[in-house]
Amino acid sequence: MFELDRKTIMMDAGTALFTSKGSFGTVLGQARAEMGEYGKVYRKEELPPDNLPIGIEPFDLLLDHSSAWRTRYISCLVEDAGDTDVTSSEGEPIRRYAVSFKQGDRSTPFRNVCHLVAALIPFILSLVFSLGGWGILFSAVIAVFIVYAWMVPGKRGVAVCNKIKVNLEKGIQTNLVP
């Protein structure tokens, strides 16, 4: 069974509003196909409801594009935003849809251990080679930068969300609206 990291906190990553002559299912399928380019996509029904990340609800789709270095999730909610009072050349009503994204990013234990070791190496070297006060001060500065890099959330999740939004807007507007 697929296990989600419950400690990953999901945050808002933006919304795309567009028009389409396609049905709700068509738009949801196109969102799933677009998200599928970046990793494994799960429908809400495929996931255990008691094992979801914090702040993920409500959602229709969940993209898992994690690596050994970071746990990354992107959730997607497709909503019908009503009619546009315009019809297509075939006489079908053109509807508005909103696609909202949330993304979550968390370091894996492997990444935590690597950064902890990297932060301690300068101190160990300064003690081994007896570098004195300046060596310890320099080691502290290096350790602060390493800890900062450890704590900063990744930018890849937001970049992937933006790519999905742009591609989804372009795809739906060029493929579905006359």
Q: Does 3 reside within a domain?
A: no
Query: Are residue 50 and residue 137 in the same domain, yes or no?
Result: no
pLDDT band at 41 (very low <50, low <70, confident <90, very high): very high
Asked whether residue 20 falls in the same domain as residue 84, the answer is yes
CA 113 to chain centre: 23
Residue 76 above 90 pLDDT?
yes
Same structural domain, 63 and 144: no
Residue 92 DSSP symbol? P
pLDDT at 13: 87
Do residue 47 and residue 122 come from a single domain?
A: no
Q: Would you put residue 171 in left (φ > 0), alpha (ψ -120 to 50) or beta?
A: alpha
Does residue 141 share a domain with residue 64?
no
**pTM given for the model:** 0.81
Nearest by Cα to 19 from 103, 89, 68, 82: 82
Average pLDDT, stretch 53-74?
90
Domain match, 75 and 138 both: no
Domain check: are 127 and 163 in the same one?
no
| 152-171: pLDDT as tens digits | 877 888 889 889 888 887 77
Note whether residue 4 is domain-resident: no
Q: Where are the beta strands (DSSP E) in 21-175?
A: 40-43, 61-64, 70-87, 93-107
In a shared domain, residues 45 and 28: yes
Residues 74 and 122 in one domain: no
Q: Which domain holds residue 133?
A: 112-148
Instruction: Indicate the number of domains in the chain.
Output: 2
Of 115, 108, 106, 110, residue with least CA distance to 150: 115
CATH of the domain at 39: 3.30.310
Same domain, 123 and 58: no
Main-chain phi, psi angles of 136, to 5 degrees: -70, -40
Measured CA to CA in angstroms, residue 9 lies from 94, 108, 121 at distances of 36, 14, 31
